[in-house]
Amino acid sequence: MGDETRMRSSRLAPLLLAFATPLFGVTPLQEKVRAWRVARENELIAEYRELLAIPNASVDRANIRRNADFIVAMMKRRGIEARLLTIPTPTANPVVFGEVKVPGATRTIMLYAHYDGMPVNPAQWAPGWEPFAPKFATASAERGGKIVDSWKPGDPIDPSWRITGRGAADDKAGVFTLLNAYAALVATGQAPTANLKFFIEGEEEFGSVNLREIIAAHREALRADLWIVLDGPCHPSGKKAVMFGARGDINVNLTVFGPKRPLHSGNYGNWAPNPSQLLVNLLASMKADDGRVLVPGFYDDVIPLTEAERRAVAAIPSVEAELKRELGFARPEVAGRTLFEGFALPSLNINGIQGANVGAQAANVIPTVARAVIDLRLVAGNDAQRQVAKVVAHIRARGWHVLDRDPTDEERAQHAKLIRVETKSAGTNAQRTPMDWPVAQAVVAAVQSTVDYPVVLLPTLGGTLPSRTIEELLDVKLLTVPVVNADNNQHAENENVKVQALWDGLETYTALMTMR
Amino acid sequence: MGDETRMRSSRLAPLLLAFATPLFGVTPLQEKVRAWRVARENELIAEYRELLAIPNASVDRANIRRNADFIVAMMKRRGIEARLLTIPTPTANPVVFGEVKVPGATRTIMLYAHYDGMPVNPAQWAPGWEPFAPKFATASAERGGKIVDSWKPGDPIDPSWRITGRGAADDKAGVFTLLNAYAALVATGQAPTANLKFFIEGEEEFGSVNLREIIAAHREALRADLWIVLDGPCHPSGKKAVMFGARGDINVNLTVFGPKRPLHSGNYGNWAPNPSQLLVNLLASMKADDGRVLVPGFYDDVIPLTEAERRAVAAIPSVEAELKRELGFARPEVAGRTLFEGFALPSLNINGIQGANVGAQAANVIPTVARAVIDLRLVAGNDAQRQVAKVVAHIRARGWHVLDRDPTDEERAQHAKLIRVETKSAGTNAQRTPMDWPVAQAVVAAVQSTVDYPVVLLPTLGGTLPSRTIEELLDVKLLTVPVVNADNNQHAENENVKVQALWDGLETYTALMTMR
């Protein structure tokens, strides 16, 4: 089948799918929202692509501001009262804040998303996939998805396509969903049942480093009865989910020092110490091949799941066999433990490691430094600083001299094993909302109204949200209701969101905005 | 002292140094060569900078050819009969071959250098230092050397300056020295005492992969009584040296496979296996913190040094204390072993390692692959393929499934630990010329005639040359006489050659071309 033929048939797909959707179980609200969306898919996507084209690395202040201004304009176009929440700290990224007052409403719901994104290395993206030039792709890059070059504005959009780009899923999809769900309600003449507030954060991927200060400065504006967080992926099966908590997180940067200048690996090999070898020996001492973290006391503070949480984990549809097949590996890190059971424990992950070069740039050298970044996820009971202290104690116990800066000549002369250990933020602790909280039941019911299968209930997301900080400072509970597909490559190259996930999200969030 | 003042005084330095050189011990030949050089330093350096500006990564065929053509033209300008030695293999880089017949000469000396260079990662070079835009610097980058921006053609050249750029030391310095030493002899009316041949290789940094075929195709042209190799650094003290051998070498590329798509480190962390962790655990199993290689049988085949070689190693001036201070480390890899004692043993060095990213591009991910390149240096008795087989056996013994390509879905489903192991070339074995060979004594005497201190005699270079292949195929012995400073960063970022080292090299090689 030629490209042309394939393209033509995929252009027909959305129409066929619209007719194929079973009407059984679809609420009147869903029907209206769906019709509204079907009539303006092109327009919705065009605006979304404009948003995705603005680079959004948390540290890229100029573009961060362009994103914030763009979202303010999006809110205003929809009749949402919008402004930036700022603080005097010049490096703090603004929160985009929006508000809709509903006459007679007694409850206020805060809707959370973030517009900043993880750093990108464009060289690692698949050919044609670019971080900030959003396009359609026929599938994920790893499943052979191809960029749909032939699509032009006005053409139908296949709901099985992906939209590519940093932030497409994590978490500009939150901006798309929240603002368009509200627009759909207004356009179809339906009022929210609660006052709505929108909190679109600008440094979630940078450890929410200024969130405490921002909350302190805008406490009144941020009052709400419930925060709903739109972040993270749906269940890997594609099923909608409600998450009652999130793991905490802190990153630790390690730099091991070798010779002051890079050396020829022959003329100095087996004499000058190689920092890459010293670093791999250290990292190997932290985690066994069977997935057990070997840092003393690593699992000590963990508060076990409650009975209700354990039951919920047990009820999660099994995904492991299918995921192992899709992801192409034979054995999970810890044999016999499910994906979701693992979320109840802290983790230690090597985010990145580099010493000199590999591939085409590799050369026969002993480098001057070797670097790694490790990621410590935290659960209830853990404290970010305490967890880092355990890792540092482990490093020291293995004979390392630990610094928070580069070594002096004196230190180099004195210590055989020199390492710089740094954390870029204070870290985020874990948060959990009790599963039996009545408001949570209403949230689950709203999401449940949009689907025929049981909504998946997770005691905690595996990832991290600034939930604990918000809970603590504003004395409010949080729930997470995700929208995007699980195979979205968030944080990595070839990030993407499934078009259908965006459409489904509109139905989920209009239901939440009108929940009883 | 302002920049302007410092610059002016350093411009005077060459003149002062020329007067300060003691005349005692300088041969009449040296005097003439030195006067010739002093009169045309600008001209010599101008041509050298043109050569260094041509990129020379072994795989960059278009530029490799430009280098070869440039060197042919250099030879022709000096009256050397020059041509390219090629073979039908389209990817083979040409050897630049030159020949000078000397009436009445009974001996033929082949002079070896190479014009190709190691790959570069320009991002790793110091500000202002570029791989292929040669400049002067006041010192090595690691000692705070600054680019001399104010220099313009015609200005004096401070002999303590460095010339920056890939190949400046390794090994276009060989091209500079060989061709200009010959030019100096001709210009000062002195005849070489032997027929001279020049063999300027184009893929030494790529494992000399086509050398066997090139030698086979041009055996007659390559006949000589002795090969003198101009490659590798002088003794770290700056003293001139003669080396009687070279270690062999083979690189092994390792790729460990994780999930097929990159994963969020929270949403999949402690479930999906992280290839970086698996790789560091494997590499840590290969070498202890105390420098011992743990691969079974790694040291088994080693032929010990002869009595004469042991005496020579013991006589090498001690450099370890000074080198440790300069390089800024407290303990060599194996405590108590000297740099040169280590050359008598095979090595295992991590040339490069990378899993995802560190620094500004780091993200919270589990990557799809982690890669490393290890470098195995070989000594007399070792065989490249046998040494690799020991490493592969070690990997297999630790439960890995070893492939020479990416895994299939079936292999992914079946094996928990999947690794791709590749060697890009057949490797080079070590070579040693007996220290008591009479011709070697003449070479040592020639070098000795140019200096007042005892020339350093090394049984083997720590690095690698294609000496063993040449020895075997052409039944000829080889000696190495280096020219460049040891702190030249060869193979790495900020490569440089000391100007004085180039000047000294002219005196060394005119002495060799006229040796008795």
Cβ contact, residue pair B269, A361, below 8 Å: no
Which one is the CATH code of A23-244+433-513: 1.10.940.10, 3.30.1130.10, 3.40.630.10, 3.40.50.970? 3.40.630.10
Nearest to A44 by CA among A469, A516, A499: A499
Chain A CB within 8 Å of residue B345 CB: yes
Residues 6 or more apart whose CB falls under 8 angstroms from that of B336 comprise: none
Cβ contact, residue pair B247, A266, below 8 Å: yes
Cβ contact, residue pair A362, B351, below 8 Å: yes
> Contact at 8 Å (CB) between B367 and B258?
yes
pLDDT, residue A16, reads 37
Burial letters A422-456, b for 16+ CB under 10 A, else e: ebeeebbbbbbbebeeeebeebbebbebbbeeebb
Using a CB-CB cut-off of 8 Å, the residues of chain A touching B358 are 253, 352-354, 371-373
Give the C-alpha separation, B205 to B367, whole Å. Answer: 30
Element (H, E) at A474: helix A467-474
Look at residue B2 and tell me whether its pLDDT is greater than 50.
no
Chain B CB within 8 Å of residue A358 CB: yes
Cβ contact, residue pair A333, B464, below 8 Å: no
Cβ contact, residue pair B270, A324, below 8 Å: no
Cβ contact, residue pair B347, A269, below 8 Å: yes
Chain A CB within 8 Å of residue B355 CB: yes
Using a CB-CB cut-off of 8 Å, the residues of chain A touching B119 are 357, 360-363
- Measure CB to CB from residue B328 to each of A259, A345, A362 and give the nearest one: A259
Burial class, A511, CB count within 10 angstroms (exposed 0-12 / middle 13-18 / buried 19+)? buried
Cβ contact, residue pair B327, A260, below 8 Å: yes
Q: What is the pLDDT of residues A316-344, one digit of tens each?
A: 999 999 999 999 999 999 998 999 999 99
Task: Tell me the residues of chain B between 132 and 191 that have a Cβ less than 8 Å away from chain A.
Answer: 140-142, 170
Residues 6 or more apart whose CB falls under 8 angstroms from that of B66 comprise: B54
In a mutational test of the A interface, the residue from B118, B125, B265, B345 whose CB has the highest number of chain A CBs within 10 Å is B265
Chain B CB within 8 Å of residue A384 CB: no
- Strand blocks (E) in B187-231: 195-201, 226-229
Residue type, B506: L
Chain B CB within 8 Å of residue A242 CB: no
Residue B108 forms beta bridges with which residues? B195
Residue A115 C-alpha, separation from nearest chain B C-alpha, in angstroms: 16
Using a CB-CB cut-off of 8 Å, the residues of chain A touching B280 are 279-280, 283-284, 350, 353
Task: Tell me the residues of chain A between 457 and 476 that have a Cβ less than 8 Å away from chain B.
Answer: 461-464
Chain B CB within 8 Å of residue A482 CB: no
In a mutational test of the A interface, the residue from B271, B371, B497 whose CB has the highest number of chain A CBs within 10 Å is B271
User: What is the length of chain B?
Assistant: 516
pLDDT, residue A25, reads 72
- Measure CB to CB from residue A361 to each of B119, B332, B361 and give the nearest one: B119
Give the C-alpha separation, A266 to B247, whole Å. Answer: 8
Q: What is the pLDDT of residues A471-496, one digit of tens each?
A: 999 999 999 999 999 999 999 999 99
- C-alpha angle B306-B208-B251 in degrees, rounded to nearest 5: 75
Question: Which ranges in A333-405 belong to alpha helices (H)?
Answer: 339-342, 384-397
> Contact at 8 Å (CB) between B102 and B193?
yes
Give the C-alpha separation, A260 to A369, whole Å. Answer: 9
Burial letters B8-20, b for 16+ CB under 10 A, else e: eebbebbeeeeee
Using a CB-CB cut-off of 8 Å, the residues of chain B touching A291 are 270, 273
Q: What is the dihedral of CA A301, A382, A304, A229, to 10 degrees?
A: 180
> Contact at 8 Å (CB) between B115 and B96?
yes
pLDDT, residue A23, reads 45
pLDDT, residue A507, reads 98
Q: Please name the residue that has the structure tokens 């390149």.
A: B373
pLDDT, residue B24, reads 57
Nearest to B452 by CA among B240, B228, B181: B240
pLDDT, residue A2, reads 34
Burial letters B42-79, b for 16+ CB under 10 A, else e: eebbebbbebbebbbbbebeeebebbbebbbebbeebe
Cβ contact, residue pair A261, B361, below 8 Å: no
Using a CB-CB cut-off of 8 Å, the residues of chain A touching B258 are 329
Q: Please name the residue that has the structure tokens 């499910």.
A: A338
Its CATH class, for the domain covering A248-304+344-422, is alpha beta
Give the C-alpha separation, B326 to A484, whole Å. Answer: 54
DSSP secondary structure code for residue A436 in this structure: T
Cβ contact, residue pair B264, A462, below 8 Å: yes
Its CATH class, for the domain covering B28-244+433-513, is alpha beta
Chain B CB within 8 Å of residue A345 CB: yes
Residue type, B235: H
Residue A85 forms beta bridges with which residues? A95
Residues 6 or more apart whose CB falls under 8 angstroms from that of B485 comprise: B169, B233, B234, B238, B497, B498, B501
Residues 6 or more apart whose CB falls under 8 angstroms from that of B3 comprise: none
Give the C-alpha separation, B173 to B481, whole Å. Answer: 12
Residue A43 C-alpha, separation from nearest chain B C-alpha, in angstroms: 31
Give the C-alpha separation, B181 to A337, whole Å. Answer: 71
Q: How far is CA B381 from CA B325, B338, B348, B377, B443, in A?
A: 34, 21, 16, 12, 26
Quote the tokens at residue B52: 């260094």
Using a CB-CB cut-off of 8 Å, the residues of chain A touching B364 are 118, 249, 251, 349, 351, 375, 491
pLDDT, residue A24, reads 57
Q: How far is CA B167 from CA A243, B489, B491, in A?
A: 58, 10, 9
Predicted TM-score of the model (pTM): 0.85
Give the C-alpha separation, A356 to B57, whole Å. Answer: 17
φ, ψ (nearest 5 deg) of residue B138: -75, -20
Give the C-alpha separation, A328 to B407, whole Å. Answer: 10
Give the C-alpha separation, B346 to B430, whole Å. Answer: 10
Cβ contact, residue pair B464, A266, below 8 Å: yes
DSSP B150-187: T--TTS---TT-EEESTTTTTTHHHHHHHHHHHHHHHH
Using a CB-CB cut-off of 8 Å, the residues of chain B touching A278 are 289
Question: Which ranges in A78-171 belong to alpha helices (H)?
Answer: none
pLDDT, residue A6, reads 36
Q: How far is CA B51 from CA A60, B58, B432, in A?
A: 40, 15, 32
3-state secondary structure of A123: helix
**Within chain A, which residues score under 70 in pLDDT?**
1-24
Tally helices (H) and strands (E) across chain B.
15, 20
Nearest to B197 by CA among B289, B270, B98: B98
Chain A CB within 8 Å of residue B290 CB: no
Residue B184 C-alpha, separation from nearest chain A C-alpha, in angstroms: 31
Cβ contact, residue pair A273, B366, below 8 Å: no
Residue type, B454: P
Residue A429 C-alpha, separation from nearest chain B C-alpha, in angstroms: 13
Chain B CB within 8 Å of residue A55 CB: no
Using a CB-CB cut-off of 8 Å, the residues of chain A touching B140 are 261
pLDDT, residue A425, reads 86
Residue A102 C-alpha, separation from nearest chain B C-alpha, in angstroms: 36
Look at residue B455 and tell me whether its pLDDT is greater than 50.
yes
> Contact at 8 Å (CB) between A429 and A383?
yes
Domains of chain A by residue range: 23-244+433-513, 248-304+344-422
Architecture of domain B247-304+344-422: 2-Layer Sandwich (3.30)
Cβ contact, residue pair B363, A339, below 8 Å: no
Element (H, E) at A34: helix A28-38
Rounded to the nearest angstrom, the gap between the alpha carbon of residue A484 and the centroid of all alpha carbons in its chain is 10
Chain B CB within 8 Å of residue A279 CB: yes
3-state secondary structure of A368: coil
> Contact at 8 Å (CB) between B355 and A352?
yes
Q: What is the mean pLDDT of chain B?
A: 93
Nearest to B94 by CA among B83, B103, B85, B82: B85
Residue A101 forms beta bridges with which residues? none
pLDDT, residue B21, reads 38
Q: How crowded is the C-beta side of A463, counted as CA atoms within 13 Å?
A: 28
Q: What is the pLDDT of residues B254-267, one digit of tens each?
A: 999 999 999 999 99
Q: What is the pLDDT of residues B328-349, one digit of tens each?
A: 999 999 998 999 999 999 999 9
